[in-house]
Amino acid sequence: MAGGEINVVLDAPDAPRKRSVMDRFIDGIELIAAFFVGIVAADIFVSVLLRYFFSIQIPDAYDFGRLLLGILIFWGIAATSYRGTHITVDLVWANVSERKQRWIDVFATLVLLFVVTVQTYTLLDKVVSTYRDNVLTFDLRLPTWPFFAVAWMGDVSAVLLIAIRTYRLVFHPEEMEGGYRMKPVE
């Protein structure tokens, strides 16, 4: 380059797509789910280490493990729902045209949205009932409703992500990473 000129290619085919606010929101939810995986793994590791090597048990270790696992499950549902990386059965889908595959994907996502929305409503009822009934852990007598509330927030996140996925599948399939098509997990 002579004279300090800089040539910039704006439409490079391999240039990454600019991350929208929605994409960053989705990544944030996935990061939260990963954080809870780490918390559950650390809880199990420390509990086993203390129990087998030092004969010490963390107070409410069983309750914390159970409640954290519930949180992990609901945030995991949120993380896998948008990407479509969960296990799928594609006997019919694999044998139809791309147009029909897209409509099957939209229908399946709408069914998932309905099911997870109903699940979110019932989990909210569980949060409210554990709060009203003052359900406590066994050893430390800590309220359990905050754990249920964090799990419910994961479920709400799943509903939001599935709604975003549905919107993008119908109106903006090009915004789906890797296209709009679900990929079978092998």
pTM of the model: 0.76
Per-residue model confidence (pLDDT) at position 87: 59
Query: Length of the chain, please?
Result: 186
Spans of all domains in the chain: 20-86+94-175
Alpha-carbon gap, residue 186 to 172, rounded angstroms: 27
* pLDDT of res. 93: 77
CA 139 to chain CA mean position, Å: 31
Q: Residue 3 is encoded by which pair of tokens?
A: 């004279």
From first to last of its 186 residues, what are the pLDDT tens digits of the chain?
Answer: 455 555 444 444 555 566 778 778 888 888 888 898 899 899 889 999 999 999 988 898 889 989 999 999 998 888 888 776 655 667 787 788 888 888 888 898 899 999 999 999 999 999 999 999 999 999 999 999 999 999 999 999 999 989 988 888 888 877 766 554 555 555
Dist. CA 52–CA 69, nearest whole Å: 22
Which one, of 185, 174, 169, lies nearest residue 90 by Cα? 185
- Residue 152 CA from chain centroid, whole number: 12
pLDDT of residue 105: 85
pLDDT for the residue 146: 96
39: number of CA atoms within 13 Å, CB side? 18
From the number of C-beta atoms within 10 Å of its C-beta (0-12, 13-18, 19+), residue 15 rates as: exposed
